[in-house]
Structure 1
């Protein structure tokens, strides 16, 4: 009987990003370039780092993981959003909704963990340079990156498993263009106390704890930079982490807003905008931020892009740690 209740709703109805027919074409023309830009930018980052031996360092290894996460995260949501704009909204099966929910939470959680890990990498590089090769060796980096994907997958499996135990017996209209935990809980006709508790635990770990660790890393970094006597030395030290700090700020600004977002009323429309920020805008901006503010990445990209020439400039390995 429980299984019958759970499968009473076999599909959900997703809202389009806009209910105004006159704006759907405009949003389609805006979101499609965003999606293509996110794919192209992050793929170029992955290819450039892979083909450029000078970028085979821990920082760029983690940046490659971030680019892969951005590709799969935006691909989890944007194709369905574009389809709904063309078809004036649409439906998604129960299994498709749970699958989208699983992968979206997995990739977003992994990105928060990875950003914290990248902050730790910059902390070791700047604050403990003599120990950098030992603390951030390739086996250690591979273990840390694998832990990011595994921990997030485990947490997501628990949350998704709890979601599949709920009964959905109508209504089946999701007030969003994607399947998210808060909107699905509003449709459940089962008690959601356990789900709410586990969501709070996950939010505290992935959001609060990781944010505090990232903040602590940058607190130590800034204190170390301020102790550098020369202005040129301070600029060089800050240039190695300024791009990452900008990405962290962009990511956590959306996380904080989502955490305090009420689950009803006009704020649901605002929630669509926030969801678009972390599923489309951030994946598009991240490769731009890292490439525009990093000479090594720009040199590698010039070697990848035929239209940019062969890139005769010799790259400066400004992230190489001196052990002398």
Structure 2
């Protein structure tokens, strides 16, 4: 039986001068070696072979189509454009791989990949036709087809087909997660919009309040002792929200809607409507 050596590390007690500490002890032991996984080795070889085929196809297609296009434009632009022909169906196959557990969405990538391959093979054949080398053009066009076929076989080796019920289960779970992921940027967008609106409202409220006296708080000096605002800590105007101002008044023992309204308008620096104050008061009463 074949064995292999592994290093094992464990904590052991070690005492020096009567003081014991746990230290690391390194030990090399031999364990049975697992049998060779030939299936995995063949799978890896198939994948490497497919990558080699795709690389060769990309190089040949780029050279052929680039030579064809260089007859009408500069070489740099011609060869750069030639890369797009094989890169298109390679990209479609990458998308097909990512969507291998979602056949409905993968079909679009499969169809687009076939069309892109046909266009690429036709362009390579056109290169041979233009230069009176039909056989070279035909053989060169087959290179792309062989590369795509090899990569398709490699994808089949790695594929894990699902039965119909399991596929439906996966589809529903993916839809739920995708919905949650989609809500992340949507919530961020809404929060940014709400922040902009709130900033605009604060700016407008502060501008309108400047240079004007609040009619609710500009009474005679005799009315000052009866003002319930004396029970509330002073808050700088425009630094709190309506909800926070209502909560502050509630915590101070003030529950009269009109009195709370005066406190909120003074604290926020805005002409807050009575309906907003009543809504927050109702929520506080329910919570209480």
Asked if these proteins are the same fold (TM beyond 0.5), I'd say no
Q: Which structure is higher in RCO with an 8 Å CA cutoff and minimum separation 6?
A: 1
Structure with bigger gyration radius: 2
Report which of the two has the higher share of helix: 1
Structure 1 length-normalised TM: 0.24
Structure 2 length-normalised TM: 0.27
